[in-house]
């Protein structure tokens, strides 16, 4: 499919007339539906997050749900000139992003979303031309507005002939050198981490330091005025940012702005999209903060910091990923093996382990070292760091299930009930947690950092 590509994020739809444009959505547990009327040259794509509002009360937009969003989408198409009985549909998504567990089987979010979408289309007399739903891997759904053809394909399927040919397992000595040679994060970021951990605020002094760095200052101001953080007032200086945002929020934003360059932005290795590693880390940080506010288990700024740093070990292993990419893609995205198991087999270490070693090398606080080291198996963290590590685990899990297409990831859901209980939640809380995901995350990189 040629033409300009327009990404349709979760909880939204896009409608277009005939033209040189392709609408696309990256789907994991979410469900995508394309509808088009070739005779009247109008069509669109909706990216549905959930089957219906949790508990019957809509927290988010109507477009989040199959029950309310699909009828709205259909109505807008007809307003734009489509004939209902001339529409053709394609469905994709609703996967059990494995390894699946009691949570997936009990909630069956993707399956129930698919059922509601199919029922509505059937009731409206709309023909479904193609449907690829369920299964265990993520997909991309595309609609070509030039030809009105829909296509369902794996996300960023690698060319098997061009990768994997030169893969050589690194030995322990090479891994040690790789960890030791990773460029350290800048001193301002380390200072922010210590300030957040110690609770000793000195944001005014830190703001004076930020002013001396033109690049970080510009990035921070761009971030303050982005759609994601906009306060309603133009922020044109670091001092003004401190007044409007407050010390804690400014510290989190400084940390994000300074760490952006630490994660590779190229489309290679772990990244499935430009800036995928950073966008995943940033999204996990935001969700960690939301979970901390909801549960009251840990300070929200500490939770944000742990979420932002949880995948730093991927920076170490990314250099080995290029030649092993197709094998990683097949085993994690198609065969649904947990990422860290594949990493250990091929590299002799996983990204949680290499990240923990990096955190120790940089003298991070112990709670952050543990959250980084154990975010795939949070019950392995010490009692002092257990709640923080569990928050990071759940934020990472939500990102991997509902915001796919950013990076290679596959989370285990072993002992999901016990893990939820550790932070005072149950399986029944999951849909309402998903509804609380900030909609701005679905439109990254609108954080002002790209």
Task: Examine the pLDDT at 106 and tell me if it is beyond 60.
Answer: no
Average pLDDT over residues 372-399: 94
Q: What percent of the chain has pLDDT over 90?
A: 37
What separation in angstroms does the CA of 222 have from each of 216, 235, 446, 449? Answer: 10, 9, 10, 7
Sequence-distant (≥ 6) Cβ neighbours of residue 221 within 8 angstroms: 235, 236, 237, 238, 241
How far apart are alpha carbons 364 and 377 in whole angstroms?
Answer: 20
| Dihedral sign computed on CA atoms, order 206, 212, 215, 217 | positive
Who wins on pLDDT, 261 or 303? 303
Average pLDDT over residues 45-61: 76
Q: Note whether 383 and 293 are same-domain residues.
A: yes
| Nearest partner of 356 among 178, 177, 179, judged by Cα | 179
Residue 232 lies in a domain: no
Q: What percent of the chain has pLDDT over 70?
A: 84
Q: How confident is residue 372, by pLDDT bands cut at 50, 70 and 90?
A: very high
Task: Examine the pLDDT at 335 and tell me if it is beyond 60.
Answer: yes
What is the model's pLDDT at position 78?
Answer: 96
Task: Examine the pLDDT at 165 and tell me if it is beyond 80.
Answer: no
Most confident of 78-92, 144-158, 319-333: 78-92
Asked which of 99-108, 273-282, 343-352 is least confident by mean pLDDT, the reply is 99-108
Burial 267-302 (b: 16+ CB within 10 A, else e): eebbbbbebbbbbbbbbbbbbbbbbbebbebbbbbb
Task: Examine the pLDDT at 121 and tell me if it is beyond 50.
Answer: yes
- Cα–Cα–Cα angle for 349, 376, 192, rounded to 5 degrees: 90
Q: Note whether 87 and 117 are same-domain residues.
A: yes
Average pLDDT over residues 331-350: 84
Q: How confident is residue 224, by pLDDT bands cut at 50, 70 and 90?
A: confident
What is the model's pLDDT at position 118?
Answer: 95
Under 8 Å between Cβ of 277 and 449? no
CB-hemisphere CA count at 13 Å for 228? 23
Residue 240 lies in a domain: no
Task: Examine the pLDDT at 47 and tell me if it is beyond 90.
Answer: yes
Residue 243 lies in a domain: no
274-309 pLDDT, tens digit per residue, is: 678 888 888 899 899 989 998 999 999 899 999 999
Domain count, the chain: 2
Who wins on pLDDT, 448 or 408? 408
Task: Examine the pLDDT at 48 and tell me if it is beyond 90.
Answer: yes
Backbone phi and psi for residue 152, each to the nearest 5 degrees, phi listed first: -120, 130
179-221 pLDDT, tens digit per residue, is: 887 877 777 787 788 777 776 656 677 777 777 777 778 878 8
Under 8 Å between Cβ of 3 and 431? no
What is the model's pLDDT at position 230?
Answer: 61
How far apart are alpha carbons 412 and 352 in whole angstroms?
Answer: 14
Q: What is the DSSP letter of 332?
A: I
Give residue for tokens 């605020």.
Answer: 201
CATH number of the structural domain spanning residue 319: 1.10.3210.10
How far apart are alpha carbons 272 and 157 in whole angstroms?
Answer: 10
CB-hemisphere CA count at 13 Å for 374? 21
What is the model's pLDDT at position 204?
Answer: 74
Residue 280 lies in a domain: yes
Residue 229 lies in a domain: no
How far apart are alpha carbons 23 and 444 in whole angstroms?
Answer: 17
Average pLDDT over residues 76-105: 80
Q: Note whether 176 and 150 are same-domain residues.
A: no
Q: Note whether 392 and 330 are same-domain residues.
A: yes
What is the model's pLDDT at position 101?
Answer: 54
What is the model's pLDDT at position 157?
Answer: 59
Q: Note whether 328 and 181 are same-domain residues.
A: yes
What is the DSSP track for 86-140? G-EEEEEE----SS--HHHHHH-HHHHHHHHHHHHHHHTT-EEEEEEE-SSS-EE
Strand order in the sheet with 42-48: 12-17, 42-48, 31-37, 88-93, 127-133
Residue 281 lies in a domain: yes
What is the model's pLDDT at position 200?
Answer: 61
Who wins on pLDDT, 138 or 97? 138
Q: Note whether 332 and 436 are same-domain residues.
A: yes
β-pair partners for 6: 23
Q: How confident is residue 446, by pLDDT bands cut at 50, 70 and 90?
A: very low
Q: Note whether 324 and 177 are same-domain residues.
A: yes
Q: Note whether 179 and 137 are same-domain residues.
A: no
What is the model's pLDDT at position 76?
Answer: 96
Average pLDDT over residues 227-255: 76
How many C-beta neighbours within 10 Å does residue 246 have?
Answer: 12
Rg of the chain over all Cα atoms, to the nearest angstrom = 22
| Dihedral sign computed on CA atoms, order 175, 178, 179, 180 | positive
How far apart are alpha carbons 348 and 327 in whole angstroms?
Answer: 15
CATH number of the structural domain spanning residue 111: 3.30.1330.200
Average pLDDT over residues 378-407: 89
Q: Note whether 318 and 347 are same-domain residues.
A: yes
What separation in angstroms does the CA of 139 have from each of 95, 205, 400? Answer: 9, 47, 13
Residue 113 lies in a domain: yes
Q: Note whether 274 and 401 are same-domain residues.
A: yes
Residue 211 lies in a domain: no
What is the model's pLDDT at position 311?
Answer: 93
- What tokens does 287 get? 């969700």
What average pLDDT does the structure give for the chain?
Answer: 83
Q: Note whether 133 and 178 are same-domain residues.
A: no
Q: Note whether 321 and 405 are same-domain residues.
A: yes
What is the extent of the structural domain holding 296?
172-185+263-443
């Amino acid at each position: 499919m040629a033409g300009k590509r327009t990404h349709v994020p979760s909880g939204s739809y896009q409608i277009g007339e005939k033209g040189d444009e392709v609408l696309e959505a990256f789907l994991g547990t979410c469900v995508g539906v394309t509808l088009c009327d070739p005779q009247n040259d109008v069509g669109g794509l909706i990216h549905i997050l959930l089957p219906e509002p949790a508990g019957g009360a809509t927290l988010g937009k109507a477009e989040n749900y199959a029950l309310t969003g699909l009828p709205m989408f259909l109505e807008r198409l007809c307003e734009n000139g489509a004939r209902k009985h001339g529409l053709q549909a394609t469905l994709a998504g609703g996967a059990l992003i494995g390894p699946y567990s009691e949570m997936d089987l009990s909630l069956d979010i993707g399956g129930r979303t698919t059922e509601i979408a199919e029922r509505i289309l059937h009731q409206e007399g709309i023909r479904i031309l193609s449907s690829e739903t369920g299964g265990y891997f993520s997909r991309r759904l595309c609609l070509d507005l030039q030809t009105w053809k829909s296509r369902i394909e794996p996300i960023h399927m690698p060319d098997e002939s061009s990768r994997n040919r030169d893969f050589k397992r690194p030995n322990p000595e090479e891994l040690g050198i790789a960890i030791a040679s990773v460029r350290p994060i800048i001193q301002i970021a380390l200072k922010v981490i210590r300030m957040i951990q110690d609770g000793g605020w000195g944001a005014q002094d830190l703001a004076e330091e930020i002013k001396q760095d033109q690049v970080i200052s510009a990035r921070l101001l761009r971030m303050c005025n982005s759609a994601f953080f906009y306060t309603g007032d133009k922020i044109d200086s670091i001092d003004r940012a401190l007044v409007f945002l407050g010390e804690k929020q400014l510290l989190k934003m400084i940390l994000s702005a300074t760490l952006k360059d630490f994660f590779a932005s190229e489309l290679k290795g772990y990244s499935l999209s430009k800036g995928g590693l950073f966008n995943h880390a940033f999204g996990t940080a935001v969700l960690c903060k939301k979970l901390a506010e909801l549960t009251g288990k840990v300070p929200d700024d500490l939770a944000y910091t742990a979420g932002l740093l949880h995948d730093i070990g991927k920076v170490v292993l990314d250099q080995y990923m290029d030649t092993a990419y197709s094998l990683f893609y097949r085993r994690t995205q198609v065969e649904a093996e947990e990422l860290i198991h594949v990493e250990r087999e091929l590299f002799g270490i996983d990204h949680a382990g290499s990240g923990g070693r990096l955190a120790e090398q940089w003298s991070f606080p112990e709670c952050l070292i543990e959250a980084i080291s154990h975010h795939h198996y949070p019950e392995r963290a010490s009692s002092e760091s257990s709640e923080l590590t569990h928050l990071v685990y759940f934020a990472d899990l939500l990102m991997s299930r509902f915001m796919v297409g950013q990076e290679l990831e596959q989370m285990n859901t072993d002992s999901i009930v016990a893990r939820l209980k550790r932070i005072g939640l149950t399986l029944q809380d999951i849909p309402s947690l998903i509804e609380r995901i900030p909609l701005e995350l679905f439109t990254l990189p609108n954080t002002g950092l790209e």
